[in-house]
Amino acid sequence: MKLLREGEDGAVQIIDAINLEKTLALFPNAVEMVGEFPDEFFRSAWQLSSSSLVINLNKAKELCHEKRRTKRDSLFAPYDKIIAAQIPNTDTAAVEQARQDIRDGDALVQQSIDSATTTAELKTIIENYEAI
């Protein structure tokens, strides 16, 4: 039997209760889980709603923005090295254009995340962006 409780940090804790009576004595605010686990992709956005787990859409969007920022940083990295090295005879205009192209693409992803209304949309947006 799975029990759910909200930890002091606000994260959902899942307790696998072998002895229900003893477990509830240790965790009196735990509730028996009803339903299935939501998408693990959004684990940090799970929240307890009555006796089931749901995904908080705003937290899911923030998680996606974190993933977007990480991907953007990895796309920028090779160009940042070129700019930082200031290698003579480097076409810095082309490097800056590449960086601007990354910014433009990232802005579209950011807008898509902000306007998404479901976690399925969010997951597709991030999976497509991370595949670049």
pLDDT value, residue 38:
93
The pLDDT assigned to 7 comes to 86
How far is CA 66 from its chain centroid? 6
Predicted model pTM = 0.83
Positions in the chain whose pLDDT score sits under 70:
none
**Residue 35: other Cβ atoms inside 10 A:** 10
- The model's pLDDT over 37-74, given as tens digits with 9 standing for 90+, comes to 999 999 999 999 888 899 999 999 999 999 999 999 99
Long-range contacts from 113-116, C-beta under 8 angstroms, 24+ separation: 113/61, 113/64, 113/65, 113/68, 114/61, 116/61, 116/64
pLDDT at position 88 is: 84
